[in-house]
Chains A and B, each alone.
Chain A
Amino acid sequence: MSGFTNTLLSGDGPRSRVLTALLAVIVGVLALAPFLFDGAQAINTAAKICVFIVLAASYDLLLGYTGIVSFAHTMFFGIGAYGVGLAFHFWGPTWTAGLAGLGIALTAGLILALAIGFVSLRVKAIFYAMITLAVASAFAILAGQLSDFTGGEDGRSFRVPELLRPTTMLFQMPLTGMSVTGRIATYYLIALAAAAIFLGALRIVNSPFGRVLQAIRENEFRAGALGFDVVAYRTIGNCLAAAMAVLAGALYALWLRYVGPDTTLSFAIMLDILLMVVIGGMGTLYGSVIGATIFILAQSYLQKLMVIASSAFKGVPLLPDIFHPDRWLLWLGVLFVLSVYFFPTGLVGTLRARAALQKD
C-alpha cells in the first residue's frame, strides 16, 4: 500500500487481496456509474449504495466498534432527511436553506443522541435496545402525525438548488457527447460526501479514541478499570454514529427530492442496515461497503433475475413457482441465512482471516 493510500485509509487497509479487488471494483463502478449504465434504475441503485454505505458504516461504528445495539438509528437517518427536505420545502430551493436544514438536523440529532446516551447507556444492552426502539417508534409516529409540518404519511416533495436539478444541463462530455445534468452533479456530490464521511469514520476507529471504543466493546469493566469513563465514551460514540446517520439521511433526501416516513423512518430500513453490517462483517467498516452493495443490488435486481429464472424454467414442474418474482423476499432471506452460515464473521472478517492464515 502506498504512503498516500495508507494515510487516506488511516493505516487500516483491506488486508486481503480478494477484499482489495472487491473494494476496487465497487469503488470503480460507483465512481463511473453515470457513464457506465443507461437508465434511471442503475444510477438510483448506485446513489442508494453510496448513502447506505455511510448509514451501515455509522451503524457499524455503534454495533461493531462500540458494542451498542440500537434500534434508533433510522430515527437519526430520518432527522437528516427531514431536516434538509423540510428546509428546502419551506424556505425554498437554495443552498442556504439546505445547509441551514442540515445544521438544524445535526444539532437535533446530536442533542437526542446525547440525551439517549446519558439516560440509557448506563443500563444493560437489552434495556438500551428496548429504550431506543421505543424512542424510534415514538419519533416515527410523531413524524406521521404532524402532517401540517412533515406532510404526514405522504411526506414532502421538494425542489433542490438549480445546479442539482435533473433539467439543468451542465455541459456535454467532449468525446461521447453525453449530457452532464444536475442529476449527475447530485450523484457525484453524494458519492464524494459518502467517500469523505467513510474515510472520516475510518480515521475515528483507528484513533486512540477508536481503540478505547473497541476495548469497551470487548470488556467494559476492564476498560473502566484501566481508567476510561465507559458511559462518556459510549455516549460520544453514539453521538458520532448519530451524526453520520443524519448526514446519510440528508444525502438520501437530496437524491430522492422527497422525504417521508417509509423512505427514512421505517423499521424495515433498520433491519436492512443490520443485515448489511452482519453480511459485510461487524467491526470492520469495509464490511459496510460490501454489505450495502450486496444488499442493495439484491434488493434492486433480485426480482429481475427471478423473472428470467422463472421464465427459463417454464414447463418444468414447481420451479417456475419457486422462482416466481413475488417470492424475491424469501430468496433474499435464503441468501442472508447462507451468508451467515458460510461467513459467520461476515465477508470481510472471513476474507481477512483467510489472508492472515495464508500469510502465516
Chain B
Amino acid sequence: MPDALLTLAGVHTHIGQYHILQGVDFGVPRGGVTVLLGRNGAGKTTTMRTIMGLNPPSRGQITFDGATISGLTPHAIARSGVAYVPEQMGVFADLTVAENMTLAALAGPPDTARLEWIFSFFPALKKFWRSPAGVLSGGQKQMLAIARAVIEPRALLLIDEPTKGIAPAIIDNMIGAFEELKQQATTILLVEQNFHFASSLGDTVAVMDDGRIVHAGSMAALATDTTLQSRLLGLSLDAHG
C-alpha cells in the first residue's frame, strides 16, 4: 500500500497454546478510517492488541510511520503516537475523570481548548469531572476511554468496538467526534460490529476470518454490494439500516 501509516505483514500471534492470528496482511491508509470487520472470534481484538504490543506477534512485521514497531513494549508503541481504546473501556475506576484524562496527557497538562472540544461531544465528562470514573455509566466510561485517547493529537487511534452496549444518542456524538478527528488528519483503525456505524465512518475496510484478512477494499464498495456483504459477513446493510 503506497501511503499506509500502519502495515501488518504476515503477522502471526499465539496466545498460550492457541494460534490466533495466522498471517495477517493489511495496511491502514494515512488520514482515513479503516474498519476491521469480522464475526466474533475472527481475531479482530487480537489484531489490535498485537499492534499495541499487548500480545506481541510470534512472527511477521508491523511498521508504523516507516518504523518497525513489532517487538516494542506497549509503552514505547504508545509514545510513538498510537492511542488505544480497548473493548472493555479500560478506565481507571479509582481515579477521577480528571485524573484519568490528565494521566493520558503525556506532553504535560491537558490543553484547555482541546478539553473544551472533547466536552462539546461528551458533556457528561465535564459534569463528572471530579467524580471517580468507577461511578460512571457504561456509556460515560466509553466516552472517557475515547476522550482519554484523543486528549492529545495522536497519529493513529486504535478503537475496539466503541458502540458495544452504548445508547444511540451517544453513538451519534461519537460519529461527530470521529468525523472531526478525520478532518484533523488523524488515522483511525476501528473494530466495529455495528455495520451502519462502520459504513458511515469508514473509508476502507478489512474483513477478517479465522485469523486472516479475507477481504480488503473500499468501504463504499462493500456498503453497496449486498452480495459481498452476505458472503463476507452474513448480513446486508439494508437489514441493519
User: Interface 1/0s, chain B 192-212, versus A by CB < 8 A?
Assistant: 000000000000000000000
A36 within 8 A of B: no
| Inter-chain contact B103/A226, CB cutoff 8 Å | yes
A236, chain B: closest CB distance, angstroms = 14
**What are the residues of chain A within 8 A of B74 when measuring CB–CB?**
221, 224-225
For residue B78, which residue of chain A has the nearest CB?
A227
**What are the residues of chain B within 8 A of A226 when measuring CB–CB?**
75, 78, 103-104, 106, 148
B156, chain A: closest CB distance, angstroms = 13
- On whether A211 and B102 interact (CB within 8 A), knowing A221-B54, A225-B52, the answer reads yes
A283 within 8 A of B: yes
B111 within 8 A of A: no
- On whether A208 and B102 interact (CB within 8 A), knowing A215-B92, A219-B90, A222-B86, the answer reads yes
**What are the residues of chain B within 8 A of A225 when measuring CB–CB?**
52, 54, 74-75, 78, 84, 86, 90
Docked Cα-Cα span, A229 to B76, in Å, equals: 8
| Inter-chain contact B95/A224, CB cutoff 8 Å | no
**What are the residues of chain A within 8 A of B53 when measuring CB–CB?**
224
| Inter-chain contact A214/B104, CB cutoff 8 Å | no
**What are the residues of chain B within 8 A of A219 when measuring CB–CB?**
90, 92
B9 within 8 A of A: no
A228 within 8 A of B: yes
Docked Cα-Cα span, A229 to B95, in Å, equals: 19
The majority secondary structure among interface residues of chain A is helix
A218 within 8 A of B: yes
B179 within 8 A of A: no
For residue A360, which residue of chain B has the nearest CB?
B135
Docked Cα-Cα span, A211 to B106, in Å, equals: 13
Choice from B90, B94, B99, B102 contacting A222 with Cβ under 8 Å? B90
A53 within 8 A of B: no
Docked Cα-Cα span, A225 to B106, in Å, equals: 12
**What are the residues of chain A within 8 A of B95 when measuring CB–CB?**
211, 214-215, 218
- On whether A218 and B52 interact (CB within 8 A), knowing A208-B102, A228-B75, the answer reads no
User: Interface 1/0s, chain B 201-227, versus A by CB < 8 A?
Assistant: 000000000000000000000000000
Docked Cα-Cα span, A221 to B73, in Å, equals: 11
- On whether A229 and B54 interact (CB within 8 A), knowing A219-B90, A222-B86, the answer reads no
A97 within 8 A of B: no
B106, chain A: closest CB distance, angstroms = 5
**What are the residues of chain B within 8 A of A218 when measuring CB–CB?**
92-95
Docked Cα-Cα span, A228 to B45, in Å, equals: 21
User: Interface 1/0s, chain B 83-109, versus A by CB < 8 A?
Assistant: 010100010111100010011101000
**Docked complex: B143-157 residues within 8 A CB-CB of A:** 148
| Inter-chain contact B99/A227, CB cutoff 8 Å | no
| Inter-chain contact A212/B86, CB cutoff 8 Å | no
Docked Cα-Cα span, A228 to B79, in Å, equals: 9
**What are the residues of chain A within 8 A of B79 when measuring CB–CB?**
227
Docked Cα-Cα span, A141 to B104, in Å, equals: 45
Docked Cα-Cα span, A229 to B86, in Å, equals: 18
User: Interface 1/0s, chain A 65-80, versus B by CB < 8 A?
Assistant: 0000000000000000
A220, chain B: closest CB distance, angstroms = 10
A202, chain B: closest CB distance, angstroms = 16
**Docked complex: A270-320 residues within 8 A CB-CB of B:** 283
**What are the residues of chain B within 8 A of A283 when measuring CB–CB?**
94
A121 within 8 A of B: no
A287, chain B: closest CB distance, angstroms = 14
Docked Cα-Cα span, A222 to B88, in Å, equals: 10
B51, chain A: closest CB distance, angstroms = 11
**Docked complex: A221-275 residues within 8 A CB-CB of B:** 221-222, 224-230
B82, chain A: closest CB distance, angstroms = 9
User: Interface 1/0s, chain B 28-63, versus A by CB < 8 A?
Assistant: 000000000000000000000000111000000000
Name 10 interchain pairs, CB-CB below 8 A, sorted by A: A208-B103, A211-B99, A211-B103, A215-B92, A218-B95, A224-B53, A225-B90, A226-B148, A227-B79, A229-B73
Residues on A lying within 8 angstroms of B by beta carbon are 208, 211-212, 214-215, 218-219, 221-222, 224-230, 283
Which 3 residue pairs across A and B have the least CB separation, nearest first?
Answer: A227-B78, A224-B74, A222-B90
Q: A227-B78, A229-B73 are in contact. List 16 more A-B contacts (CB 8 A).
A: A208-B102, A211-B95, A211-B99, A211-B103, A212-B103, A214-B92, A214-B95, A215-B95, A222-B92, A224-B53, A224-B54, A224-B73, A225-B54, A225-B74, A226-B78, A226-B148
